[in-house]
Amino acid sequence: MVLQPSERHYGDWNHGRLGPWCSPTGSPAPLSCETGCGEGSWILVCRLLVPTQVSLLSMEEDIDTRKINNSFLRDHSYATEADIISTVEFNHTGELLATGDKGGRVVIFQREQESKNQVHRRGEYNVYSTFQSHEPEFDYLKSLEIEEKINKIRWLPQQNAAYFLLSTNDKTVKLWKVSERDKRPEGYNLKDEEGRLRDPATITTLRVPVLRPMDLMVEATPRRVFANAHTYHINSISVNSDYETYMSADDLRINLWNFEITNQSFNIVDIKPANMEELTEVITAAEFHPHHCNTFVYSSSKGTIRLCDMRASALCDRHTKFFEEPEDPSNRSFFSEIISSISDVKFSHSGRYIMTRDYLTVKVWDLNMENRPIETYQVHDYLRSKLCSLYENDCIFDKFECVWNGSDSVIMTGSYNNFFRMFDRNTKRDVTLEASRENSKPRAILKPRKVCVGGKRRKDEISVDSLDFSKKILHTAWHPSENIIAVAATNNLYIFQDKVN
């Protein structure tokens, strides 16, 4: 069955933060195909929705039952706050794609296997597993509600037939095992076929249990629960390159965990002042180096990045390197500190560079140059004149993420009006694309968009005053080795594939 972008859905479900720290463009050119972006020709592979009220999707073609048991249809207007996608993450091979939402649910999609008859379906993803990762809780000691929202998902490299991933809400990190089962044991001696215990007096013969084939079933089971280690809300988790440890970061502290130990963690960063009135910044994101297990970075709400080496000190409050760009006094305004806050930090796959995203820009830093970034890309500079209204509606506090492509040659990040931006580091070209429900025709080619700032507006342009700030692309993911991207727009997940891929 060809995946129709408007008819694909997830399935049926059960259903004291430190705030953002603050104080009182030319026409897009197509990207170069030499860098692997197909001259900006991206095709919509599929669009997937999160439903609340669902009815079974009618199937007109013969499809694997395992593929359709979580495929449902519902009216787009029924989406609720719990359906909003809050994180997107490919696994290390790109064969699986996991999403988490504000309802505490994790949905895993599996890539279609290529067949001789349907080569074009190679990039499509279907529901593989769905499970409730976190539930809402209440801290009675602090009279604090703990949301079930999934803040981050991180995959572990696959070591055997099963898959493992970490998911976290504001307080608790869980390690999940996702495995397949296509056989079941039969022929118990002490149980009947329905699982009920038999009277031992009625057992006259002994049977050898055997394994019988069954319909393939995907099971998700929690293997570890890492709780009670964060006073403030977790904003980042990152798996170490030794695959034995991972770290979790909240607004003021970063903890190091061993995957085998759930009842204790090691505090490696603590920026909490003795007097909270002296608090000047908070931790916004953290990540391990992709190759060196002793090195990690974390960003702050002041727009700074600190690189730490765990070999230098057990408590990494003293950084090894400090990355900060001097502020231009002529551009200083009331909003300067707010828009300079870094919402995401990512190491390049090579480990040589760091990418950071603040409200208006994406910056690339060389690990060997601390005083300024080597590249700065304007994501939506046309919003600079609208910071006052964005402050009033709280949009100025939105936390956009950024991602690298597999070769570190192109970077991608989101914007408003369901726009997302791609920047080619080699040619310095950029393109603005839109993930919209109106343009979600099957295998439709995305057309570059342009925002007009005053003056005459061309037919294919959109005025900056017409932008919809309720439609925002905060979470994106890029396939680790191919030009396939996943873009989360509210409760919609769009998957695009390069035309030449």
Helix (H) or strand (E) holding 254: strand 253-258
d(CA 247, CA 294): 12
**Contact partners, residue 284, CB within 8 Å, separation at least 6:** 235, 298, 299, 300, 301, 341, 342, 343, 344, 345, 399
The residue assigned the tokens 């009216």 is 75
Q: Which pLDDT does position 116 carry in this prediction?
A: 53
Q: Which pLDDT does position 11 carry in this prediction?
A: 36
Amino acid at 342: I
- 472 DSSP 8-state letter: B
Q: Which pLDDT does position 422 carry in this prediction?
A: 97
DSSP assignment of 386-431 equals GHHHHHHTTGGG----EEE-TTSSEEEEE-BTTEEEEEETTT--EE
Domains (range + CATH), the chain: 42-56+80-498 (2.130.10.10)
| Beta-carbon count within 10 A of 30 CB | 16
Number of continuous H segments (helices) and E segments (strands) in the chain: 3, 34
pLDDT along the chain (501 residues), means of 10: 36 36 34 43 77 31 33 46 94 96 95 66 82 92 90 96 96 96 82 80 83 85 96 96 97 97 96 94 97 97 96 91 90 90 97 97 97 96 94 96 96 96 95 84 84 77 91 96 94 87 52
* Strands annotated E in 160-204: 163-168, 173-186
pTM for the whole thing? 0.82
Which CB contacts under 8 angstroms, 24+ apart, belong to 267-271? 267/315, 268/308, 268/310, 268/314, 268/315, 268/316, 269/298, 269/308, 269/315, 269/316, 269/317, 270/315, 270/317, 271/317
Residue 370: closest CA among 313, 309, 320 = 320
